Structure 1
Amino acid sequence: MKYFGGVEGGATHSRLVICDEQGSAVALTSGLGTNHWMVGIPEVARRISDMVERAKEEAGIEQDVRLTSLGLSLSGCEQEATNRELEKEMHNAFPDISESYIVCSDTMGSVFTASPIGGMVVISGTGSNALLRNPDGSTYTCGGWGHFMGDEGSAFHIAHRAMKIVFDDIDNLEKSRYPIDRVWELIKLHFNVDTRFDLLPHCYAKFDKPFYASLCKKIAHAADQDDALSMSLFNEAGRCIARSIAALTPKVQTELVKTGDLSVVCVGSVWHSWHLLKEGFEHEMHKHDIPFDLKLVTITKSMAYGACYLAADAIDHQLPRNYLDNFDVMYHYRTKEKTTNGLGSSSSSNGCQSIPSVESIAVQA
């Protein structure tokens, strides 16, 4: 019996699946984050080895039985040089794990969980990233540069924008369009602080990106209770996400949109608040002339399956799979009505910090 594995690796946590020759999962397990920029390549390899060992034990597979292939679809794996370094580390440090590897970004695993020919994926979780994979193998990205250079539309970006708006308002540097009281109380509660000075260790010496980003969940709850500033932050995030999609659409090959739709795989916890993102998303998409509709889908299985498929395909093994079991359609953006109404002109923007008017928020509330 041959076994095939796949790992979905994020900054905060990871998941692993092992499938048999019929494509059925025989083991599923989870582990710590596997972004090598955060913990280093040797530690990533150790964490992957730990997950595989636990999964083998769960499936009743002897530890000395190597997987036929193992796909590693990990956050931070966008460069071929470091990907090859991780593969080498796995072979050298843990020779009993797998016979072959394929290492790629976490976005790639998402695409191939939903389609065998490619597509687009937009990750909006702790961080953010967008990737297009065409049927000919060409790939294009927008974002994915981390919190220092980007992460627009992510949980971190929403949390950081909230804190920046509060700081600037209290400093009288730039007054917020909306009352800051609710968000400021949430910030103090989340970080267990009383003053802005108490926050500085969390921004520098004790910076913990996943914890910092998790403030977003509290902001989402406040937005659901009609707090105007919180609502505006998600509206802004929706616009940012739309811009990343629009940036990649000129590179889409015809084969991907033969049905008239481009499937966009939506990954990450921020998408759970789609009802808060939707207005900003639609408002921004109306500014761009896109010649096909967008079908936003959510993965119903771990992206580890996509990584498993990729690794099996890389060694020309036809692992059975049913893609329709792997996703649900969340939203359909149709461009026909927008185009016939003359709203299809493109526009440009220098960032994602535009916030809707008070009237717009009032209507939502």
Structure 2
Amino acid sequence: MLFDVEDGYTKFENTAVENLKKIILNHFKIEHKSSLLNIFYGPTFNKAKIASLCETLALEASDDPIIARFFYDAGCHLAKMLIAVSKNFDQEMYDIVPVLAIGSVWKSWNLLKPGFLEILHKETIIRRVSIYQLEESPRIGAAVLAAKIKLGENFHSKDFRGKTRLIDEIRNIHQ
């Protein structure tokens, strides 16, 4: 957005993106937007550092309509991804869809949720969504899966299932 507005690709008032520009430059401790190219595409690319911008932006979303729109749009994209994979559901799964929320972007669920709901209300037959968060590292599940594949171990104990907690439940999507 920053590049698009300042380069004249997107029609938007330059003054409206000044706050966004200031936040991004401060977050990455740079002075010019052109330095972002090295951060995003250069040899020092660091996914975690880029992802941490989400938390910084989330703190500003209530005061900045452009930033709030980013989160709204991201919520729309999450719903569209869910709808895309739902084409593989059996009929029963449409009644309650479990979603495992992995990644720090879910810390901003309150900002993502309005866009997520708008798309679900318009474009799907999904009736309920339960969003869960892992309470332990996904590495445990990866290790169990690796043992099963490589060693032929078959774990039946529920002790090896990931522990989760419900963070949100969206009911009656189409009522």
TM-score range, shorter-chain basis?
0.7 to 0.9
Q: In the alignment, residue 241 of structure 1 is paired with which amino acid?
A: L
The answer as to 2:50 corresponding to 1:212 is yes
CA contact (8 A) 1:264 1:297 kept: yes
| Residue among 139, 149, 159 paired with 1:304 | 139
Paired residues for 1:81-160 under 5 Å: none
The answer as to 2:51 corresponding to 1:227 is no
Change (3 A) 1:289 1:309: same
TM-score, length-scaled by structure 2: 0.82
Report percent identity of matched pairs.
27
CA contact (8 A) 2:97 2:126 kept: no
Hey, what does 2:118 align to over in structure 1?
Answer: 283
| Residue among 245, 270, 274 paired with 2:109 | 274
Aligned-residue offset at 1:269: 0.4
Aligned-residue offset at 1:275: 0.5
Q: In the alignment, residue 110 of structure 2 is paired with which amino acid?
A: H
> 2: CA distance between counterparts of 1:318 and 1:200?
46
Change (3 A) 1:167 1:301: same
CA contact (8 A) 1:249 1:290 kept: no
The answer as to 2:21 corresponding to 1:184 is yes
SS in 2 for 1:264: strand
Hey, what does 2:86 align to over in structure 1?
Answer: 249
Aligned-residue offset at 1:300: 0.8
SS in 2 for 1:317: coil
CA contact (8 A) 2:141 2:160 kept: no
Aligned-residue offset at 1:312: 4.6
Aligned-residue offset at 1:322: 4.0
Change (3 A) 1:337 1:273: closer
> 1: CA distance between counterparts of 2:143 and 2:133?
18
Q: In the alignment, residue 221 of structure 1 is paired with which amino acid?
A: L
> 1: CA distance between counterparts of 2:170 and 2:46?
32
CA contact (8 A) 2:99 2:129 kept: yes
Hey, what does 1:170 align to over in structure 2?
Answer: 6
SS in 2 for 1:176: coil
CA contact (8 A) 2:101 2:134 kept: yes
SS in 1 for 2:80: helix
The answer as to 2:166 corresponding to 1:329 is yes
The count of residues paired between Structure 1 and Structure 2 equals 171
| Residue among 191, 200, 203 paired with 2:37 | 200
Segments of 5+ residues of structure 2 without an aligned counterpart are none
Indicate the RMSD between aligned Cα atoms, in angstroms: 2.6
Q: Which has the higher helix share?
A: 2
> 2: CA distance between counterparts of 1:276 and 1:186?
18
> 2: CA distance between counterparts of 1:320 and 1:273?
34
TM-score, length-scaled by structure 1: 0.42
> 1: CA distance between counterparts of 2:40 and 2:97?
39
Segments of 5+ residues of structure 1 without an aligned counterpart are 1-164, 341-365
CA contact (8 A) 1:166 1:176 kept: no
Aligned-residue offset at 1:319: 4.9
Aligned-residue offset at 1:228: 1.2
> 2: CA distance between counterparts of 1:206 and 1:311?
31
